[in-house]
Amino acid sequence: MITVENVSKSYGATRVLTDCSTAVARGEIVVVCGPSGSGKSTLIKCINGLEPIDAGRIVVDGTSVADRETNLPKLRARIGMVFQTFELYPHMTVTENITLAPIKALKRTRAEAVKRANTLLERVGMHDYADRYPANLSGGQQQRVAIARALAMDPIAMLFDEPTSALDPEMINEVLDVMTALAQDGMTMIVVTHEMGFARRVADRVVFMDQGRIVEDSPTQNFFEQP
Ligand code: ADP
Ligand code: ADP
């Protein structure tokens, strides 16, 4: 479903990704880990076309992300992205945050979009908060809304960039639980995280990055069994 082939990328003179290759099959859960600054975040931004690549190829569901003919906004709309800092629209309620893109980009009617939002809020345990504003929610609650918002676009895959790193410890599990349920439902997921317990329990594969290179790409069991 997602193929990364020999991808390299620099910011100016700084090489950030060097010859990275990996592939994620439909329904597969891949955790990406490695030290800060190793290129994890850049790699997933390249996968949904938020950042251009200098060399190599990224193919998502048969479409090459870097092709000039590729409709990037359309492709990006099919990949759900969840960031470290939830990035909800502060002036909109929870429901408005979730329904905005489906109404604007997928031309859903408001009624359809609200119905779907309610279902998704139920799924992330936030159905009692539909009319709240983000500022009145905890970090964990905001992140669960951000996940619901991404799911509202009916994505073919979900990318998570350190989704629990900005959370207080007691909120981390409520977000990881939602992600675990999503994984069990068969969603294709790439998750950048330092939560090795989550990786061990949920990931099919672990990719380890260091200084812009993928230095290991192993089935989860092998990754954790190493000396
Ligand atoms: P990680 O997610 O593993 O912490 P990043 O992908 O965020 O790593 O960053 C990899 C390297 O690229 C770091 O050295 C970072 O400072 C640099 N970098 C990231 N984004 C930019 C940018 N927009 N411009 C210049 N350098 C960047
Ligand atoms: P993350 O690893 O989660 O991306 P960072 O703090 O590394 O978090 O980056 C936050 C933002 O700043 C990102 O959008 C990244 O592209 C940008 N960034 C990171 N390093 C640099 C840099 N050296 N120069 C310019 N932008 C950067």
Q: Which has more confidence, 48 or 97? A: 97
Q: What is the pLDDT of residue 227?
A: 66
In this structure, the residue with its CA closest to atom 16 of ligand 1 is 37
Whether residue 198 contacts residue 183, with contact meaning beta carbons closer than 8 Å, is answered with: no
Q: What is the pLDDT of residues 173-227, one digit of tens each?
A: 999 999 999 999 999 999 999 999 999 999 999 999 999 999 999 999 999 986 6
Which mutation among 11, 20, 44, 190 tests ligand 1's pocket best, with the greatest number of atoms within 8 A of CB? 11
The string of DSSP letters for 110-166 reads HHHHHHHHHHHHHHTT-GGGTT--GGGS-HHHHHHHHHHHHHTT--SEEEEESTTTT
Q: What is the pLDDT of residues 23-32, one digit of tens each?
A: 999 999 999 9
Question: Is residue 193 within 6 Å of ligand 1 at its C-beta?
Answer: no
In this structure, the residue with its CA closest to atom 22 of ligand 1 is 11
Output helix, strand, coil percentages for the chain, rounded to the nearest 5. Answer: 40, 25, 35
As given in the structure block, the two tokens for residue 52 are 């251009």
Q: What is the pLDDT of residue 73?
A: 80
CA distance 23 to 166: 28
Q: Residue 172 pLDDT more than 70?
A: yes
CA distance 10 to 176: 32
Question: Is residue 192 within 6 Å of ligand 2 at its C-beta?
Answer: no
Q: What is the pLDDT of residues 65-121, one digit of tens each?
A: 877 777 788 888 889 999 999 889 999 999 999 999 999 999 999 999 999 999 999
Residue recorded with tokens 């061990």:
200
